[in-house]
């Protein structure tokens, strides 16, 4: 996958690699990273492995990417996309981006933008006619910098 370098505030060189989630990433801080996005509960290794295998069984229709800080192996950022197959638009496809988060330790290095670009590039390659996501008002400016445009309102019902 893609590599990039950036300097941290101490001037030390950091190298990041963007790639698909691997089953071993739970031990590299993946679940802890997700807890910076929303409330998470403890997931056992068996639960993680079962869900990972389920998600990967969908092939390219459900992709989770991570950005790994190579020297430590720590997961610095993540995001996911699900491809919805529709009857509209000549049986078109829509990419739904979810769960974009950058570890507080690595913010300010444009990793979030790289995650969104990776996911939207995947959607384009899969033949999607659009990519959509839901976000809070406080994230609107960030996603506009990633090339997305405001298109309305989100509604939800939690169970």
| Alpha helices (H) along 16-110 | 30-34, 45-56, 88-91
4 has a pLDDT exceeding 90: no
Lowest-pLDDT choice from 32-46, 79-93, 114-128, 144-158: 144-158
- Reported for 48-55, long-range contacts at CB under 8 A and 24+ positions apart, including other chains, are 48/23, 49/23, 52/21, 52/23, 53/23
pLDDT in tens, 22-64: 999 999 999 999 999 999 889 999 999 999 999 999 999 999 9
C-beta of residue 67 within 8 angstroms of C-beta of residue 111:
yes
Nearest-angstrom CA–CA distance, 100 and 95 = 14
Global confidence as pTM: 0.88
Predicted local distance difference test score (pLDDT) of residue 10: 38
Domain ranges of the chain: 16-146
CATH topology of domain 16-146: Aminopeptidase (3.40.630)
Q: HSE on the CB side for 134, CA within 13 Å?
A: 4
> Is pLDDT of 7 > 60?
no
Q: Average pLDDT over the chain, rounded to whole?
A: 91
């Amino acid at each position: 996958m893609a590599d990039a370098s950036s300097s941290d505030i101490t001037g030390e060189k950091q190298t990041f690699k963007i790639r698909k989630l691997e089953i071993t990433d739970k031990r590299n801080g993946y679940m802890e990273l997700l807890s910076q996005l929303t409330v998470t509960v403890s997931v056992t290794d068996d639960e993680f492995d079962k869900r990972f295998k389920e998600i990967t069984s969908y092939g390219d229709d459900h992709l989770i990417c991570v950005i790994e800080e190579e020297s430590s192996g720590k997961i610095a950022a993540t995001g996911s996309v699900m491809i919805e197959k529709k009857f509209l638009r000549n049986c078109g496809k829509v990419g739904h981006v979810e769960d974009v988060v950058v570890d507080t330790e690595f913010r300010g290095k444009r990793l979030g933008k790289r995650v969104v670009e990776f996911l939207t590039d995947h959607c384009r390659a899969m033949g999607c006619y659009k990519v959509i996501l839901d976000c809070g008002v406080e994230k609107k400016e960030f996603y506009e910098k990633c090339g997305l445009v405001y298109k309305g309102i989100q509604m939800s019902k939690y169970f």
